[in-house]
Structure 1
Amino acid sequence: IVDTLSRDSVVGVRLAVFEGMRYLIGVPACLNAAEHALKCIALNGINDKNERVRVAAFQMLKMLKGHRYIRFFDVAPMEEVLARLQVETSESVRREIVPLIFKSFFPDRERADQGERMRRIAFLIKHGRICSLTFHRLLFPLGLITVKDAVEHILFMTIVVYRSFSRGMSADATIDGSLRLDDTIATLSGPSQEIPMPDEDSQVWKRNQVFLECVVVMWMSMRKALMETKYAVEKQKLDNLETKVFKKLFQC
């Protein structure tokens, strides 16, 4: 099954291998054999030329989320998953990948603060612009986050860019670990501050470009929900900060 059928020339045969492996993942007696088999077939599966096989391969990996002994990124390294998302043309496959990696880049607040979350998003951006944009475009439509969490995420990505601009981008590419929304709003509301002219060849500038693109695509993906009356507070908060930040940015 692992050495021959997972590489069979017939799509249906390869598909059956990945669909069948899902039944073995939860069987304790098959743990060692299943883990070895998964490591042997996962990379071929997520990069298969057939869309249905790729979907099945990622569905198989999703079953490892929360598994007590086998972690999906030990079976298919995160770099390989992100590389697949970067070049993936099938929306069906993209919609399987994003939930798989969601918690890795959007950890619960008990596990990571906003600074750590932004550092993880910066890591995602480093692995590819399309990868990052696809991730943010699908978060809300797939129901992975609430409107409140989505708005907060957009606000903090905007803060990362604003702080980077206001402090100059020539030296430090790290993300500030003390991100506070209230502090940034106070700064924006205070006296006009001259923003240094950015170096458009720097890696930080290029990273910030993608951060802003992520802000836009995420906002576009949830704009209809924001128009609902029950989300008026979130919409107002988002509109207020984005207006102030972009006004400041266009001064440089």
Structure 2
Amino acid sequence: MVANALTIAGSDSGGGAGIQADLKAFSAMGIYGASVVTAVTAQNTKAVTAIHPIPDDVVVAQIKTVLDDIRIDAIKIGMLGTPSLIEAVADALNGYEGPIVLDPVMVAKSGDTLLEDSAIAALKSSLFRRATLLTPNLPEAAKLVGDGSLHAQAKALLHLGVGAVLMKGGHADGEVCTDHLVSPTGRHEFSAQRVNTRNTHGTGCSYSSAIAAGLAQGMALNDAVSRAHAWLHQAILQADKLHVGQGHGPVHHFHAFWT
């Protein structure tokens, strides 16, 4: 039986991140993807030029309509721009008992802000306790819990109620990138050689969605992260085979299928 997953996130008109990246990752992992659009962005590989938030009630209607009809085996949550939307999404997911991967999208690859500072408190109070996994990069972790060692930040995030934290190391220095999966029961590291490419648009969205796909398929969290990590590394390695835009291009979601 093919698993189903739902992404709740913003749309990227350039196709490299957001809903578009999530659905590509779901498809690459062999599952069916449904989507709830939280915002429409005018975006390409160079910049975000406009953001139009979808009204909270329309976002809620999308969630309820999907869940009323389609068996959803896992949910990935991405861009939620305002406190009211975060609270509305949390309310709409009351009763959902499947795994939730929360990617705290704050800044686009171009540097444009996607999450209002006022929304960070709402994110922590309304959604963290619902999250099976939180997937911050190092700058996002610092904005959520302040500066400190990686493990101190992960411990602080766990203290806020998330089930586990994947501390993504792509922003760290060095030739090797290491991601740290931290849960109350243990820690695991996933390392890969840093790839010399500027085509990394949508890596966070794609990674979190690939993990959600594994959870939807019934994989243990460690296994879902391990598979997603290996897949994303190949997607970055082969990103230069695509020729999309003049800035930060997308990763190659379908590297295993396109020749």
Instruction: Indicate whether the TM-score tops 0.5.
Output: no
Higher relative contact order (CA 8 A, sep 6+): 2
Larger strand proportion of the pair: 2
Structure exhibiting the larger radius of gyration computed from Cα positions: 1
Larger helix proportion of the pair: 1
TM-score for the superposition, normalised by structure 2: 0.30
